[in-house]
Amino acid sequence: MKEEFVNYIHNLQDRITTALEEIDGAAKFHEDPWEREEGGGGRTRVIENGAVIEKGGVNISMVHGSLAPAMQDYFGVGDVDFFACGLSLVIHPKNPYAPTVHANWRYFEMYEKDGTLVDSWFGGGQDLTPYYLFKEDAEHFHQVCKNACDAHDPDFYMKFKAKCDAYFYNAHRGEGRGLGGLFFDHCKAEKGRTMEDWYKFVTEVGDSFLDAYLPILKKRKDIAYGEKESTWQQIRRGRYVEFNLVHDKGTLFGLKTNGRIESILMSLPPIVQWKYDHKPDPGSEEEKLLEVLKNPKNWV
């Protein structure tokens, strides 16, 4: 299974970076292969200062070794070895009317020291973080997510949509990071589903990403904007940073397994503001976004 998924994420990285370079039209992804001293490595691809994309990364990693004590406690296991692979991406467009997008698809295994497989599972998802609310964009993104889910189980979309709303939530702010999408984890061979079944589901979601995001990016990338919109974008990016550094389990796992810091923090936007006690004007487009972030909606 791990060889099959490693091949998949290599191919998916190529497809996604090619499509994003085409829509940007100016910047290209810089590729940075790296190795992890404890075992494994990855292929980081970063794009910056483009015509459309201010900063973005589409990274794959395949790491293995002894599970760190902090993560042994987290998983409730003893001294075991692990293998983890996945693709993680974040795209921060330049235009404030174009949403940030995040996605991740991953596979994890744990073994006894003699090589006996202890556990394995898939996880992942994709979610949208706009700075200005366009109802049709939210509906499109969620419809593509639902279509991918419905091909495997009619209960998946609402289940994983709810998990996404709950996970990407800044509890200290009382608001969602964005408009959600899908989030699933610990998808294991149980309750009549095989790991091959989960592989087909996760890869279907991965294959749907470009259909979910590119039409939105194309529609919003050329809308005229000014300093007011850029300032709001930068303030909201601050909330994105807060979530990633305070709550995100993927960031925690990377930092506690001696992960590659440049790849882990690739998700952070390049220009951010924190304004003291900032509140948008009543009835403004900015306030309309906050209302939805505080009260998640069913978009489809």
Asked whether the beta carbons of 60 and 31 are under 8 A apart, the reply is no
Q: CA nearest 241: which of 271, 219, 282, 210?
A: 271
Token pair for residue 224?
Answer: 């005229």
Could you tell me where the beta strands, DSSP code E, fall in 130-269? Answer: 169-170, 175-176, 180-187
**pLDDT average, residue stretch 262-285:** 93
Across 68-77, 109-118, 142-151, 288-297, least confident range: 68-77
Count the Cβ atoms, other than its own, within 10 Å of residue 154: 10
pLDDT of amino acid 75? 83
Count the Cβ atoms, other than its own, within 10 Å of residue 117: 10
pLDDT of amino acid 266? 84
d(CA 15, CA 142): 21
Give me the residue label for tokens 């149980």.
Answer: 190
d(CA 65, CA 47): 30
Q: CA nearest 280: which of 235, 239, 238, 226?
A: 235
Q: Count of residues for the chain?
A: 300
Token pair for residue 78?
Answer: 């003893």
Residue 68 clears pLDDT 90, i.e. is over it: no
pTM: 0.95
Q: What are phi and psi of 248, to 5 degrees?
A: -70, 125
For the chain, list the domains and their CATH numbers.
Answer: 2-294 (3.40.1500.10)
Element at 108 (helix H, strand E) = strand 100-111
d(CA 105, CA 85): 9
Give me the residue label for tokens 């259909």.
Answer: 211
d(CA 103, CA 183): 9
218-249 per-residue burial string, b: 16 or more CB within 10 A, e: under 16: eebbeeebeeebbebbbbbbebbebbbeebbe
Looking at the chain, the whole-number percentage of residues with pLDDT higher than 70 is 99
Token pair for residue 245?
Answer: 């550094």
pLDDT of amino acid 259? 73
Question: Taking all residues of the chain, what is their mean pLDDT, rounded to a whole number?
Answer: 95
Three-state DSSP class for 71? helix
Question: Active site residue: 102, 140, 247, 278, which one?
Answer: 102
CA dist 1 → 41, 105, 151, 222 (Å): 18, 14, 21, 42
Clarify whether 140 is annotated catalytic. no
**pLDDT average, residue stretch 46-66:** 96
Count the Cβ atoms, other than its own, within 10 Å of residue 16: 23
**pLDDT average, residue stretch 196-211:** 98
**pLDDT average, residue stretch 236-259:** 86
Count the Cβ atoms, other than its own, within 10 Å of residue 51: 13
Residue 253 clears pLDDT 80, i.e. is over it: no
